[in-house]
Amino acid sequence: MLVFRNSSSYERYWGGRTALQQIVNNVRNLVRSFLVCGPLSDESDKFETEKTVKTLVAMLYAVKNHLRGNWGAPTFQPEFASLMPEGFRGHEAEGVGLPMELAFVVEKYIKRGVKKGAFNAPQSANLNASLNGVIMAYGNMETIK
């Protein structure tokens, strides 16, 4: 019985580590793509790109805090709060996880980039697939929790 418990505990641990690594890798790929290929023609585009990159980094904090059950963490952690989009308010009390809400900001950026011609159709599909990978890994971690 002890062997079974240790084995299943290790599987949950390893599944969580794998999901976290998927999130980190996808966030890195999205940041790289946004900084190299994103719309950067004027100051407002640069501001939007910077805001979206900060939002992606905030997703990493949000995943950690959501899985630990630290509701309202951005208000208590200044480094996390500075990454959040201005005026952004979480709805975790209503059942929507903060990482999911932050994904909306990133997806809107991808859509705007397509409209501005910064991302072509296959590239935007790849960016959306990376974002979906983040959300899927986050969902897997929620299940392990």
Class of domain 2-144: mainly alpha
Q: Could you report the per-residue pLDDT of 56-112, keeping only the tens digit for each?
A: 999 998 888 878 877 665 656 777 778 888 877 767 667 677 888 899 999 999 999
Q: Could you report the per-residue pLDDT of 16-35, keeping only the tens digit for each?
A: 899 999 999 999 999 999 99
Give pLDDT, residue 70. Answer: 72
Q: Are 61 and 73 in contact (CB under 8 A)?
A: yes
CA distances from 19 to 31, 86, 113, 134 (A): 18, 29, 28, 9
Integer Cα distance of 66 and 31 in angstroms: 22
pTM of the model: 0.84
CA distances from 38 to 62, 85, 110, 117 (A): 24, 18, 8, 9
